[in-house]
């Protein structure tokens, strides 16, 4: 909360026919983390990539890998993903309705050497996170409905970031706050970083840019500039 802002480009907006070139491009562009959107065509309407992709990605890059699991059955599949040795694994609160099971899943992710991350759709009350705030290293605030890149930021999502930042200040001061969806340098990176966001996912904002390195840097600069003075 309030410090260096990290940029996590989402490879969902990359070229699936030439992914290694895109990864090298992101490394050269100064990306801090690679965000991988796993969608199962059930939890969200879209279908993307899964375990083999994450394993192969792990083999070709040293950058931290952030796996965003948009799948209906994370309890059954989590070990497949953990075997691929990602750095961060996000699970959706909607996918594990039983509170004890979700506590257990987050503990399991940590035990297996990854940072546990909890996320939720924009229409899920943000207070649903409360019981799990000490279990996780990062909260992922979705600022679009998960499923597709290139959507517009849902206005007011920054208030959800502020809520998480206040909760973290009391109960988990080292917690990172990540924001995913419609993040851009012009406006929304500033909105969320003013409220305490640390990690900004950017798909179309990086890959559609004529100069992706400049885009990564512009998003970071815009986010850091919006942090309250003195923080
Ligand atoms: C949406 C995904 C996002 C998406 C972000 O379901 O979770 O990571 O790729 O794309 P942009 O930055 O284009 O909104
Ligand atoms: Zn994502």
> What is the strand order of the sheet 176-180 is part of?
6-9, 199-202, 176-180, 138-142, 115-120, 88-92, 65-70, 34-39
Q: Is 147 contained in some domain?
A: yes
Give the residue numbers spanning the domain of 174: 6-226
With a cut of 90, say whether residue 91 has pLDDT above it.
yes
Active-site residues: which are they?
37, 180
Residue 12 lies in a domain: yes
CB of 215 closer than 6 angstroms to any ligand 1 atom: no
The reply to whether ligand 1 has any atom less than 6 angstroms from the CB of 46 is no
Residue 8 has pLDDT above 80, yes or no: yes
Residue nearest to atom 7 of ligand 1 (CA): 146
pLDDT tier at 229 (50, 70, 90 boundaries)? Answer: confident
Do 223 and 194 meet the contact criterion of CB atoms below 8 Å apart?
Answer: no
Report the CATH number that the domain containing residue 134 is assigned in CATH.
3.20.20.70
Residue 231 has what pLDDT? 61
Asked if residue 74 is part of any domain, the answer here is yes
What share of the chain has pLDDT > 70, as a percent? 99
Q: Is residue 203 in some structural domain?
A: yes
Considering every ligand atom shown, identify the ligand nearest to the alpha carbon of residue 200 and give its number.
1
Q: What is the pLDDT of residues 55-89, one digit of tens each?
A: 999 999 999 999 999 999 999 999 999 999 999 99
CA within 13 Å, CB half, 20: 4
Instruction: Determine, yes or no, domain membership for 35.
Output: yes
Mean pLDDT (the chain) is 97
Burial grade of 65 (CB within 10 A; 0-12, 13-18, 19 or more): buried
In a domain, 181, yes or no: yes
pLDDT higher than threshold 80 for residue 230? no
pLDDT digits (tens, 9 = 90+) for 95-109: 999 999 999 999 999
Indicate if ligand 1 lies below 6 Å from the C-beta of 9.
no
Q: Which ligand is nearest to the CA of 39?
A: 1
116 lines ligand 1 (CB under 6 A): no
Element (H, E) at 70: strand 65-70
Which of 195, 212, 176, 214 shows the shortest CA–CA distance to 6? 176
| The ligand 1 atom nearest the CA atom of 181 | 14
The pLDDT of residue 206 is: 98
Residue with CA at minimum distance from ligand 1 atom 4? 149
Pairing of strands 6-9, 199-202: parallel
Asked if residue 166 belongs to a domain, the reply is yes
What spacing in Å lies between the alpha carbon of 178 and ligand 2's midpoint? 10
Q: Which atom of ligand 1 is nearest to the CA of 206?
A: 12
Residue 1 lies in a domain: no
Our answer on whether the CB atom of 202 is closer than 6 Å to any ligand 1 atom is yes
What does the alpha-carbon distance between residue 65 and residue 10 come to, in Å, rounded to a whole number?
Answer: 10
Task: Report the nearest-CA residue for atom 9 of ligand 1.
Answer: 149
Residue written as tokens 């375990």? 51
Number of domains in the chain: 1
């Amino acid at each position: 909360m309030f410090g260096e802002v990290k940029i996590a480009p989402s490879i969902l907006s990359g070229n699936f026919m030439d992914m290694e070139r895109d990864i090298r491009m992101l490394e050269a562009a100064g990306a801090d983390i690679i965000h991988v959107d796993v969608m199962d065509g059930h939890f969200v309407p879209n279908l993307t990539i899964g375990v083999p992709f994450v394993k192969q990605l792990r083999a070709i890059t040293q950058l931290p890998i952030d796996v965003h699991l948009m799948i209906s059955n994370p309890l059954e599949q989590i070990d497949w993903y953990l075997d691929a040795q990602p750095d961060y694994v996000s699970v959706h609160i909607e996918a594990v309705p039983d509170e004890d099971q979700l506590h257990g899943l987050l503990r399991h992710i940590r035990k297996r050497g990854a940072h546990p991350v909890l996320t939720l759709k924009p229409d899920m009350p943000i207070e649903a996170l409360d019981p799990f705030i000490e279990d996780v290293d990062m909260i992922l605030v979705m600022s679009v409905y998960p499923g597709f890149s290139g959507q517009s930021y849902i206005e007011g999502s920054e208030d959800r970031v502020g809520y998480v930042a206040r909760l973290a200040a009391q109960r988990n001061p080292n917690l990172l706050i990540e924001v995913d969806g419609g993040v851009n340098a012009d406006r929304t990176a500033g909105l969320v970083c003013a409220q305490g966001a640390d990690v900004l996912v950017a798909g179309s904002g990086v890959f559609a840019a004529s100069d992706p390195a400049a885009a990564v840097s512009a998003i970071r600069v815009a986010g850091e500039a919006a942090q309250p003075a003195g923080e």
